[in-house]
Structures are given as structure tokens and as C-alpha cells.
Amino acid sequence: GENVEQHPSTLSVQEGDSAVIKCTYSDSASNYFPWYKQELGKGPQLIIDIRSNVGEKKDQRIAVTLNKTAKHFSLHITETQPEDSAVYFCAALAWGGTSYGKLTFGQGTILTVHP
């Protein structure tokens, strides 16, 4: 089955700096890769996603890159702000075989942005 590894587990940056979170996946059949932000005591919310026919996608200060050959994808946050502090999760969706439709998450990254 799919296995998603996420690094780092914690990330501390100064306000205005960039933050990068990386994920690798194991199932070459996966083709949808969302990123979620979770604030304390709440459910995760989608912040950006990418499909396997696209190498990069950007939405204001957030961007995601995908390397299907190497089976890894990354989240980039530029000009970080204190309100970006949260737990971030990557995920991969299986698109074939017995795991069709299964959405597997990474372990999460606790991002802290210091004012």
C-alpha cells in the first residue's frame, strides 16, 4: 500500500522567511497530492493541491512542486506570517489497484513562525 513520509516534523522560522516541507510517496499509481493546514482543535483544511500532470502550482504565497519520477512533492510558503503557524499535512491519493480512492497522509509538520 501507499506510504507517505513527511519532513521535517517541526519547522521554526522568522516572520518573512520562507518555509519548505517535503514529502515522498511509494505508490507510483498515486496521482493527486493535496496539502492541508490544521489549527489546534480543528479539522484540516485544504490549502493547495496538485495532480500528476502538473509539475508546479502556485497560489499567492503558497506553491507546491511535484517530481513524479522521484516520487516526491514539496510545499513552499514564502513571506511567512505568524498566522501561518499550524500543523501541515501532505497526502497522496491512490488511483489504481485494490487501494483505489485511498487518501494517505504524512505524519505532519508543526510550523512555528516567530514575529
Partner 1 sequence: DGGITQSPKYLFRKEGQNVTLSCEQNLNHDAMYWYRQDPGQGLRLIYYSQIVNDFQKGDIAEGYSVSREKKESFPLTVTSAQKNPTAFYLCASSPGVGTEAFFGQGTRLTVV
Enumerate binding residues for partner 1 (CB under 8 A).
1, 6, 9, 31-32, 34, 36, 41-46, 49, 51, 89, 93, 95, 100-108
Decide whether 55 or 97 has the Cβ nearer to partner 1: 97
Minimum CB distance to partner 1, residue 15 (Å): 26
Decide whether 18 or 100 has the Cβ nearer to partner 1: 100
- C-beta atoms surrounding 80 within 10 Å: 21
37 near 59, Cβ under 8 Å? no
CA–CA distance, 82 with 91 (Å, rounded to integer): 24
**Residue 17 DSSP label:** S
